[in-house]
Structures are given as structure tokens and as C-alpha cells.
């Protein structure tokens, strides 16, 4: 699982619109969207699911601001994880 966490970290290192506090263990993280105040977060989450087939847990489900989201990296295959991360990046720019 450390290798999968490294995959997420490498994506975050390349993605200027995302940051996180890297979890020390486990298979879940809570990245933060570094978007402008007028960014439509609800539309982002709908677009991510409907147009990219990628599902994350919006932060407000976990008593966090909507700019945070829960991402799990233990269950998907490595290819699915990479595809989901790429989908998040694409949805941020639509």
C-alpha cells in the first residue's frame, strides 16, 4: 500500500490544483482542491462521476469543507488508481 500512496503523492506533486497532508499509514487520504473561491465544487463532483466515471467522497460527508475529498487507494488496481487520479485532474479543468 505504501507504493500506492507514492502513486498518489507523485500525482499531487505534479498537480498544482491539489495538495494534501500525506497519511503515514492506511489506504485513505483527504486531498484539498486549490481552486478559486468561485469554483463550482458541486459541478466538479457531478462531472467527475458522470463524465469520468470516478467517485470520491466530498469533504462535507466527513464534516470537512467541500474543497477536501476522500480518496481511497487500497482497493483499485494500480491502473484504476492512476486513471482515477487523471480523471480528477481532467475534471478540474472542465
pLDDT tens digits in sequence order for the chain, 94 residues long? 889 999 999 999 999 999 999 999 999 999 999 999 999 999 999 999 999 999 999 999 999 999 999 999 998 899 999 999 999 999 999 8
What is the SS3 assignment for 68? strand
Task: Please name the residue ranges forming H helices in the chain.
Answer: 2-14, 41-52, 78-92
Q: How far apart are CA 84 and CA 76, in angstroms?
A: 9
Query: Which residue in the block uniquely carries the three cell numbers 465544487?
Result: 41
pLDDT at position 80? 95
Whole-model pTM: value is: 0.94
Amino acid at each position: 500500500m505504501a507504493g500506492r500512496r507514492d502513486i498518489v503523492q507523485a500525482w499531487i506533486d505534479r498537480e498544482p490544483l491539489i495538495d494534501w497532508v500525506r497519511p503515514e499509514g492506511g489506504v485513505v487520504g483527504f486531498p484539498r482542491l486549490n481552486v478559486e473561491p468561485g469554483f463550482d465544487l458541486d459541478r466538479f463532483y457531478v462531472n467527475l462521476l458522470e463524465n469520468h466515471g470516478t467517485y470520491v467522497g466530498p469533504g462535507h460527508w466527513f464534516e470537512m469543507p467541500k474543497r477536501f475529498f476522500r480518496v481511497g487507494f487500497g482497493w483499485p488496481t494500480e491502473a484504476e488508481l492512476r486513471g482515477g487520479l487523471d480523471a480528477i485532474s481532467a475534471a478540474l479543468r472542465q
